[in-house]
Structure 1
Amino acid sequence: MSSPASRPVPPAAASQLNLRGAVDLSALKQRAASGSPSGPPAAQSSTPGSAGGAERPAGGRPLRVAATEANFQELVELSTQVPVVFALWAGYSPGSEAMLDVLEQIINAYDGRLVLGTADIEAFPQLAQAFQVQAVPTAVAVVKGQPVPLFQGGADEQQVRSLLDELLKVAAANGVSGRIGGSEEPAAEPEPAPLPPLHQEAFDAIEAGDYAAAAAAYRKALAEMPSDQEAKAGLAQVELMGRLQALSVPEGESLRKLAADEPDNLEAQLAVADLDLAGGHIEDALNRLVSFIGRNFGPERETARVRLLELFEVVGPSDERVAKARQGLARVLF
């Protein structure tokens, strides 16, 4: 695989670290814009039961900020300079305080390359709704105004560091590599290697929101070089984006109900697997299709198998959840 700087979004991170998720922050932005004060967001602690100021780097800008409706827009705008990690917590959640402490310690160690925004979902429920939070604590990053699901329900220190390392690679590949509060200018990032022409054509189409054109460009690249793994992964990702783009929120909700009521409805299971993957519920998405394949035979089984292999490419072949799903697929097939 090429270096992170040589391609727009690394396919191995495309599921959990995807700049084009299904979450729409526009409503929250509009609400915040009318009452947002000028200047950097106010620094304050949001750890349950604690008080005091936020941790500040050498330059005086806070690395930890309590996210509210008033400063949410500013934090989203800040995500064009550095990734902003939103930690959503609640007073009733026993794991929230530990998660906030772990995130703050780790983010401080990145020396201003990340900012932590902590949000009490009882005080700011709109943010939890926008991020489709199903459990607390939850962490979701924002890069260039786009949400990047990290984890729900907590994660250990090693998992958090791994996710944040991958987040910084995705951010750098998308032109976000600043530093907040450092006393010295960060070292210049190396110039990314130019993309092959058809890959560049696909990336330009993605930027324009034309996923069909991006898919066509990747197919041309594969026709020229069938072993092009970057094109194969890119094609799987933009096809997923295109399917998600065609779904409205009410349609997604009705498909979830249909999938629950009719577990052998192929189209419903495929669509909900897409929605789960985009929402960061990777194991749910993969296991849904493995289970369908185990219950069905004939053309529908093959269609589901092919889609599952495409989702493996989106998540990344080296991901441990893909490895587990491959084992499950082998069991139901053989």
Structure 2
Amino acid sequence: MLANGEAGAQPGLIKDTTTQGFRQDVIAESMQQPVLVDFWAPWCGPCKQLTPVIEKAVKDAKGKVKLVKMNIDEHPQIAGQLGIQSIPAVIAFSQGQPVDGFMGAQPESQVKAFIEKLAGPVGPGEAQQLVEAAQEALAQGDAAGASELFAGALEMEPEHLGAIAGLARLHLDTGDIEAAKGILAMASEAKAQDPVIAAVRAAVELAEQAAALGDTAELEAQVAAEPKNHQARFDLALALNARDRREEAVDHLIAIIRADRGWNEDGARKQLLQFFEAWGPMDEASVAGRRKLSALLFS
């Protein structure tokens, strides 16, 4: 594996420059392919957010563009000449001239679109290709093959969120909650709130809750004997979800909300929303459950 996570990246795609080196690193190089100049400073928080995003996008472009980084604290002259007043600022040079740019931290999709506008379509990176292959393997029922592919993606890109989420969910599906938690811990604090990671983390939390509840039969009997026992019904919903009986789990939580919206500080509704997060917004049970919840709350 190459250093700094640059698996498969061409050497020289990303470099730092100086005022003296700008003419060669940017003006001359932009005669061959577009060069993105990232003006940044060590004290700039948004610059730190943009760095991994733009570096990944440039690597994924596989030589169609280059990235040159300029610390404006050490080398302010070029930024001043270009009229840059806030950072991060990215200016694209082509044929020796500035042709486009953007300011502020941007999501990966926007940075990729910016590069494609300059250099044409950019395919997925190697890590993303492995993740897509892993998802295809899962669709065909090959969990072992998917696990190897997700692991391979993480070898190339240790913080690939799709690979982290996919591998963690595979462990969760086998009942290895601790292993799933360990995989999720690979996501940095900055990326831990991404919806892809949050969904798996919610599923892990639900699995931990359900593990302490035991068999559903006893809970079902208790609810049948005491229909107004909201705690027993709540626990039953968790246990049913753990057994993939999602529609029934939703119905029990809806029953609690209908009977006593304020029970346990609106606990049934909050639990229902956690179900939706763990299942994913387009899951059939999530869509149907949201309809039932909306019908109850807004009718």
Superposition TM-score tier, normalisation by shorter sequence: 0.3 to 0.5
Which structure shows the higher helix fraction? 2
Greater Cα radius of gyration, structure 1 or 2 = 2
Structure of higher RCO (CA pairs closer than 8 Å, 6+ residues apart): 1
